[in-house]
Amino acid sequence: MKIFSPAKINLFLQILGKRSDGYHDLITLMCCIGLYDTVSLTFGVKDIAVTCHHPVVPEDDTNLAFGAAHLFFKTLNKNEGVKIIIQKQIPVAAGLGGGSSNAAAVFLGLNRYYGYPFSTEELMSMGLSIGADVPFFIFQRPAIASGIGEKLEAYQNLRNLKILLVFPGFSVSTADVYKKLNLGLTKCEKKLKSFLLNKQRFDPRCHLCNDLEAVTASEYPVIKTIKEALLNHGALGALMTGSGATIFGLFSDSNAASEASHALFRTHKWKMHLTDMITQGTGYKIQDTGYKI
């Protein structure tokens, strides 16, 4: 079974406060995008094993996909195995949720293979113990997430804008970013108050906001440089996703996004990817049948 496992972006990310358990309460609007890893599952093997060609992705039980398979079999009360091969296209530790998406792909793929023993809600509950973003990927729709990310409300007022992702070539530690966050300096609350109160239609010219951006950009000034470059080349708005370091620009059409990509590539050697927002249905697809999970 081969499953396309999508990345996500945070269209806004407001940090509300730190909890007694060390996590942070937040509210964020997330959407899957058309950039995929491929997760291949081979059944009928004795143990759980993970293989990935990317040099920094672990191949042991610290891999989130491994953890998802282990928890699935434990909850199902089956002593079985699966071979997991992950082909990475999503940059690692870049704010795009690749590891969480891979874990969700394993949950969804195993659940399909074993005849859907668990409901979506049960999978989401299992996924939360693997990572805060995993329930969103299992949910499979654009959503406003709150709590630590586990409380999900479907959001349907998204235009399918074109996206130019810019990855500057380095990874960021989410834990380090949160440690350095000064809640007194966060700015999203005022910007998003009306949007959240009235459930407005998302407008990239007004509602893009990320409380973590200032923290990451203070250490990596190139983030501000990339944002300015995207805006100067026609983006309706630009923002760092998650804890970084990927920045995305939103464009009204493919031509504008493509022109910006060519212009930026002529002067910078950043890694870039043109793609779309997935505003309807699921981003997960099984390659061999064409059926969506």
- Residue that has been written with the tokens 């668990």 in this structure: 118
Percentage of residues of the chain with pLDDT beyond 90: 75
Nearest CA to 9 out of 281, 275, 289 is that of 275
At residue 86, the pLDDT reads 98
- The span from the CA of 26 to the CA of 86, in Å, is 30
Distance (Å) of CA 132 to CA 55, 108, 148, 195: 24, 17, 6, 24
Amino acid 25 reads D
| Residues in Cβ contact with 114 at an 8 Å cutoff, skipping those fewer than 6 apart | 76, 78
Q: What are the structural domains of the chain? A: 2-155 (3.30.230.10), 162-278 (3.30.70.890)
Residue with structure tokens 């091969």?
85
- Of 94-103, 192-201, 222-231, where does mean pLDDT reach its minimum? 192-201
Query: In this predicted structure, what is the pLDDT of residue 285?
Result: 66
Q: Is the separation of the CB atoms in 175 and 62 below 8 Å?
A: no
Tokens encoding 7: 């990345």
- Whether 4 shows a pLDDT value over 60: the answer reads yes
Which pair of tokens denotes residue 37?
Answer: 């890893």
Give me the amino acid identity at 160: N
Q: Annotated catalytic residue: which of 37, 88, 133, 211? A: 133
Place of tokens 């995929």: 36
Average pLDDT, the chain: 91
Short-list 78, 92, 138, 105, CA closest to 4:
105
pLDDT in tens, 226-258: 999 999 999 999 999 999 899 999 999 999 999
Chain position carrying tokens 């970084």 = 244
Going from the C-alpha of 251 to that of each of 65, 233, 238, 243, 255, the distances in angstroms are 33, 10, 9, 22, 9
Give the torsion sign (CA, 288, 132, 11, 215): negative
What would the two tokens of residue 206 be? 């007004």
How are beta strands 247-251 and 162-167 bridged, if at all?
A: antiparallel
133 as an active site residue: the answer is: yes
Q: How far is CA 198 from the centre of its chain?
A: 25
Specify the amino acid at residue 21. D
- Judge contact between 48 and 70, C-beta under 8 A: yes
> Regarding beta strands 81-87 and 143-147, do their DSSP bridges make them parallel or antiparallel, or are they unpaired?
unpaired
Give me 238's structure tokens.
């630009």
164-197: pLDDT as tens digits: 999 998 888 988 999 999 888 888 988 888 788 7
Catalytic residue among 8, 88, 162, 227, which?
Answer: 8
